[in-house]
Amino acid sequence: MEPTLEFIKSNEKRFLDELFNLLRIPSVSADSKYKGDVAKAAEFIKASLEQAGVDKAEICETKGHPIVYAEKMIDPKLKTVIIYGHYDVQPADPINLWNTPPFEPTIRDGKIFARGSCDDKGQVFMHVKAFESMMKTNSLPCNVKFMIEGEEEVGSSNLGEWIRENKKRLTGDVILISDTSILANDTPSIEVGLRGLSYVEVEVTGPNRDLHSGVYGGAVGNPIQVLCDMITSMKDKNNHITIPGFYDDVVELTKEERIELNKTPFDETDYKKDLGVDELVGETGFTSLERTGIRPTLELNGIWGGYTGEGSKTVLPSSAFAKISMRLVPNQSNAKITKLFTDHFNKIAPKSVKVKVTPHHGGEPVVTPTDSVAFKAAAKAMEKTFGKKPIPTRGGGSIPIVALFEKELGLKSVLMGFGLDSDLIHSPNEHYGVFNFMKGIETIPLFFRYYSEMSK
Ligand code: BES
Ligand code: MN
Ligand code: MN
């Protein structure tokens, strides 16, 4: 066996033990109560990169959570790969639905159960261990820079500024990211597109105070009802979004491109069974692969108002709220869609209420090239470790920083992720296969090797 692969195989147990220590740190970026733990996770990443053999590693403070930057320069004439990932995680709620505590990692059925195991600590740690394995076996073929942030799950709002301020040290040739999924463990794939995101919170206010629902009900507009009506009106019977101009900038795929996209293995029966639903719902005229890959959407992420506690309380609430996300596809712009939504929401509000729209974070969509040396190197590396050529896919999720890397640094990314859509990221019982973790560590050094060889 090749020395790097041998090193990886013989260190599996230690790699997992170390990953478990990282997973035990509840680095929830959204909740200020965990600020200290987010900082601890950054220190952990820094220390593991130092131990793995980088020249220098640094914790870079931002207005929010810190960015860990590290580099190993072997020769400025060689290529430089920039690794991006995030060590922050989503909140673990609802905690009571976890079979084992979210920050006490355990392995069951070959899967590591813990918040962040797949998204993205497990995948970031693959890069740390792959780098260590190349260093220990003297096989690192080019320069590496690491940029591991702590605010991805809350919109990477300080990373853009940091990139602009650190342009000089961020010179490189390609960005490599493992924060996406493959189709199945026996069907490797590489995501070549990510959707953009426009996220807003809306508030609908009716009467100036909560009212008795018997004394006033029937005569006064109910903000929850109004909000529901407004939301309902934003999609027609074909599940087409009715906000004027919403689709104006959408690039339609050619017939050939659609045929190609729909060749992606997808079993609708299995998909429904896995989710426990009898019927799928989406925009008429498009397949599920298209609905999640190349079409924009509008989804409710949360809705609240009135009394939701135990028992019943007869109340006509003064206000109602919702959090709404819109996923965007190439050529749509987050700022423009947010404005179209805001204008429309204000316009359709009946006189019985006042409305307020507050934009949250957002991001632009991206498509990544399939004809670049880096993509070809990733495909060759995956083909070698999985024994099958990876299929290019269009992902439904968002990693807003990918478009920013292109804009600010002029660098393209390769999305070589190893998760599965069924890993329950953001949900209770998130997990990551030991198979996937190890496969990642084995594939990354091959990417480095092929990328260096093929760029000569
Ligand atoms: N890693 C995910 C994005 C992802 C998951 C892409 C699976 C492709 C496949 C990332 O951490 C994430 O959750 N992004 C957020 C956006 C962010 C601004 C909160 C998302 O997609 O909702
Ligand atoms: Mn992620
Ligand atoms: Mn995430």
Q: Is the pLDDT of residue 390 over 90?
A: yes
Give the Cα separation of 453 and 456 in Å (integer).
Answer: 6
Q: Is 17 a catalytic residue?
A: no
Average pLDDT of the segment spanning 307-318: 97
Give ∠ CA 275-420-111 in degrees, rounded to 5: 95
Choose which residue among 299, 323, 399 to substitute to test ligand 1 binding: the one with the highest number of ligand atoms within 8 A of its C-beta.
Answer: 399
Choose which residue among 123, 152, 157 to substitute to test ligand 1 binding: the one with the highest number of ligand atoms within 8 A of its C-beta.
Answer: 152
Q: Is 88 a catalytic residue?
A: yes
Atom of ligand 1 nearest to the CA of 199: 18
Query: Catalytic pick from 18, 88, 120, 151?
Result: 88
Pocket flag, ligand 1, residue 334 (CB < 6 Å):
no
Distance 317 CA to ligand 1 centre (A): 34
Residue 286, pLDDT score: 98
CB 175 within 8 A of CB 194: no
Question: Which domains does the chain show, CATH number per domain?
Answer: 2-194+366-454 (3.40.630.10), 196-250+296-363 (3.30.70.360)
- Closest ligand (CA of 194): 1
Q: Is the pLDDT of residue 1 over 80?
A: no
Helix pair angle (223-233, 334-348), 10° resolution: 130
HSE-up of residue 116 (Cα within 13 Å, Cβ side): 32
Residue 230, pLDDT score: 98
Residue 361, pLDDT score: 86
Average pLDDT of the segment spanning 385-408: 96
Pocket flag, ligand 1, residue 180 (CB < 6 Å):
yes
Pocket flag, ligand 1, residue 155 (CB < 6 Å):
yes
Pocket flag, ligand 1, residue 413 (CB < 6 Å):
no
156: left (phi over 0), alpha (psi -120 to 50) or beta: left
Q: What is the pLDDT of residues 329-357, one digit of tens each?
A: 999 999 999 999 999 999 999 999 999 99
Q: What is the pLDDT of residues 145-177, one digit of tens each?
A: 999 999 999 999 999 999 999 999 999 999 999
Atom of ligand 1 nearest to the CA of 156: 18
With cut-offs at 50, 70 and 90, classify the pLDDT of residue 456.
Answer: confident
Pocket flag, ligand 1, residue 198 (CB < 6 Å):
no
Q: For all residues of the chain together, what is the average pLDDT?
A: 97
Query: Catalytic pick from 37, 149, 152, 423?
Result: 152
What's this model's pTM, rounded to 2 decimal places?
0.95
Pocket flag, ligand 1, residue 360 (CB < 6 Å):
no
Average pLDDT of the segment spanning 128-150: 98
As a whole-number percent, the residues of the chain with pLDDT over 90 amount to 99
